[in-house]
């Protein structure tokens, strides 16, 4: 078979134009080489066919596609990419061009860099809606792979300007973010809230917290993170009325309930509305989170201080150590940064307990964590607060 193939190679000329007989023999040769997996030679003879066949030859498209598939088989990246230029230089129909683009993008779908290179080549031959679609796809690839500088190299288009803005922010170019967001017409209308969000963050980064809050306020559909930002801002400014307003909204979000209830408790606590504070703390204490643990600790402190009443509730906790005095126990907690721990009378002593848990299994996890920090002789006890 191979001897026959190479014999045919010697008999087929390369002069411009092919007779019908030469064309048929060359087609058979190309198909045979491809079928026999001699892909590089099949691609070479396909190139010969494309150069010498007439522009209206009905087989040119099939030969081009077979050549491209041959390059795909041997993973010749440069030749695969060059098919973009070739299909345009030979002036094939749009349908053929799209088929070539599809094969190339399919081949590189698991390689972001090569996909990006292919799209950049295709972009040279596209315009209008298709060009915008490709730009969006290219920008999305760069965004996913955190190629911020690459995104900034792309032309300014409303469809991708938000990603360019985010890239500036990610690169720490906050003044450029502020400058770019001065004119909203650069962006799609549906991106307005996102643009305001990054403008606000940029002002926050340069220390203009008042400006940051004003632009966060201007966002129409505020996400939980935006609301949390405003809560922190107003809480630190001691504007508890606005902080409470946003905390009530945040308390309806599943992933923020513990934070919202705890901070509502803190505000009531600072206003010396201890019973109200306790109600919020109790809601926060239902969650086994940082804020849930802080809430449990504060409930215990309020009861210990005698400023709230209520039925005692049992929790599991880890007893770490006993001291003769409250002062020594508090110093131990401070020295070891045991922020979730507290003191409680135990017989004639003052005990240091860590954590308040609904179940024993949760207390066991806390015990293991404390043991990793070097604490020994730990006991899990059920206590009432």
CATH of the domain at 320: 3.30.70.1070
- The answer on pLDDT for 297 being more than 50 is yes
Residue 52 covered by a domain: yes
Tell me, yes or no, whether 121 and 37 share the same domain: yes
pLDDT at 17: 63
If you average pLDDT over residues 321-337, what whole number do you get?
91
If you average pLDDT over residues 100-129, what whole number do you get?
93
Per-residue tokens: 235: 């809480």
- The answer on pLDDT for 310 being more than 70 is no
Tell me, yes or no, whether 3 and 115 share the same domain: yes
pLDDT at 201: 97
Tell me, yes or no, whether 258 and 325 share the same domain: no
Residue 4 covered by a domain: yes
pLDDT at 5: 43
CB 224 within 8 A of CB 250: yes
Tell me, yes or no, whether 296 and 322 share the same domain: no
pLDDT at 164: 97
Tell me, yes or no, whether 295 and 337 share the same domain: no
Residue 252 covered by a domain: yes
Domain that holds residue 286: 238-308
CB 279 within 8 A of CB 266: no
Total domain count, the chain: 3
The confidence band for 19, taking pLDDT boundaries of 50, 70 and 90, is: confident
- Whether this prediction's pTM lies above 0.85 is answered by no
- The answer on pLDDT for 6 being more than 80 is no
Residue 369 covered by a domain: yes
Lowest mean pLDDT: which of 11-20, 21-30, 371-380? Answer: 11-20
- The answer on pLDDT for 161 being more than 80 is yes
- The answer on pLDDT for 99 being more than 50 is yes
CB 137 within 8 A of CB 162: no
Which of 79, 103, 125 is a domain's end point? 125
Tell me, yes or no, whether 25 and 47 share the same domain: yes
Under DSSP, the state recorded for 184 is: G
What percentage of the chain reaches a pLDDT higher than 70?
A: 95
Tell me, yes or no, whether 270 and 315 share the same domain: no
pLDDT at 9: 42
Sheet containing 349-357: which strands, arranged edge to edge?
341-346, 349-357, 314-323, 379-384
pLDDT at 70: 94
Which of 125, 158, 185 is a domain's end point? 125
Residue 54 covered by a domain: yes
- CA 291 from chain centre, in angstroms, equals 26
CB 155 within 8 A of CB 138: no
Residue 220 covered by a domain: no
Tell me, yes or no, whether 318 and 275 share the same domain: no
- The answer on pLDDT for 15 being more than 80 is no
pLDDT per residue as tens digits for the range 102-116: 999 999 999 999 999
- The answer on pLDDT for 11 being more than 80 is no
Q: Within 10 Å of residue 276's Cβ, how many Cβ atoms?
A: 16
Tell me, yes or no, whether 364 and 384 share the same domain: yes
Task: Check residues 22 and 16 and name the one with the higher pLDDT.
Answer: 22
pLDDT per residue as tens digits for the range 22-47: 888 999 999 999 999 999 999 999 99
317 forms beta bridges with 381
Tell me, yes or no, whether 114 and 20 share the same domain: yes
- Pick from 20-29, 217-226, 324-333, 350-359 the range whose average pLDDT is largest: 217-226
Tell me, yes or no, whether 253 and 339 share the same domain: no
Which of 125, 142, 175 is a domain's end point? 125
- The CATH number for 114's domain is 1.25.40
Tell me, yes or no, whether 304 and 345 share the same domain: no
Q: Which residues of 142-169 are buried (b: 16+ CB within 10 A; e: fewer)?
A: bbeeebbebbbebeeeeebbbbbbbbbb
CB 221 within 8 A of CB 193: yes
pLDDT at 146: 95
Q: How far apart are CA 316 and CA 382, in angstroms?
A: 4
- The answer on pLDDT for 117 being more than 80 is yes
Residue written as token pair 């086994």: 288
Residue 105 covered by a domain: yes
User: What is the secondary structure of 185-207 as a DSSP string?
Assistant: GGS-GGGHHHHHHHHHHHHHHTT
- Average pLDDT in the chain: 90
Residue 120 covered by a domain: yes
- The answer on pLDDT for 3 being more than 60 is no
The confidence band for 63, taking pLDDT boundaries of 50, 70 and 90, is: very high
């Amino acid at each position: 078979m191979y001897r026959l193939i190479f014999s045919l190679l010697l008999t087929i000329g390369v002069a411009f134009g092919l007779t019908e007989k030469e064309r048929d023999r060359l087609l058979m040769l190309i198909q045979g080489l491809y079928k026999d997996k001699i892909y590089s030679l099949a691609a070479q003879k396909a190139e010969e066919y494309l150069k010498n066949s007439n522009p209206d030859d009905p087989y040119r498209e099939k030969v081009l596609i077979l050549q491209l598939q041959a390059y795909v088989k041997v993973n010749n990246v440069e030749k695969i990419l060059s098919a973009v230029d070739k299909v345009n230089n030979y002036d094939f129909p749009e349908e053929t061009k799209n088929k070539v683009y599809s094969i190339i993008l399919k081949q590189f779908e698991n390689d972001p860099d090569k996909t990006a290179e292919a799209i950049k080549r295709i972009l040279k031959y596209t315009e209008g809606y298709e060009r915008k679609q490709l730009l969006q796809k290219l920008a999305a690839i760069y965004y996913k792979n955190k190629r911020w500088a690459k995104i900034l190299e792309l032309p300014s288009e409303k469809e991708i300007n938000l990603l360019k803005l985010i890239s500036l922010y990610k690169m720490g170019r906050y003044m450029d973010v502020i400058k770019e967001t001065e004119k909203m017409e650069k962006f799609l209308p549906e991106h307005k809230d996102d643009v305001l969000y990054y403008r606000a963050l940029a002002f926050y980064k340069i220390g203009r917290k008042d400006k940051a809050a004003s632009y966060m306020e201007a966002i129409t559909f505020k996400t939980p993170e935006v609301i949390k930002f405003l809560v922190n801002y107003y809480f630190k400014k001691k504007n508890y009325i606005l902080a409470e307003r946003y905390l009530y909204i945040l308390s309806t979000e599943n992933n923020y309930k513990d934070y919202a209830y705890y901070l509502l408790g803190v505000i009531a606590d600072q206003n010396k509305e201890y019973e109200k504070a306790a109600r919020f703390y109790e809601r926060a204490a239902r969650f086994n989170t940082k804020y849930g643990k802080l809430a449990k600790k504060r409930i215990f402190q309020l009861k210990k201080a005698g400023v709230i009443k209520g039925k005692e509730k049992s929790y599991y906790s880890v007893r770490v150590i006993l001291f003769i005095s409250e002062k020594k126990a508090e110093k131990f907690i401070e020295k070891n940064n045991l922020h979730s721990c507290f003191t409680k009378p135990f017989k004639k002593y003052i005990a240091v307990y860590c954590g308040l848990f609904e179940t024993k299994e949760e207390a066991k996890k806390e015990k293991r964590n404390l043991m990793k920090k070097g604490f020994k002789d730990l006991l899990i006890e059920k206590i009432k607060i």
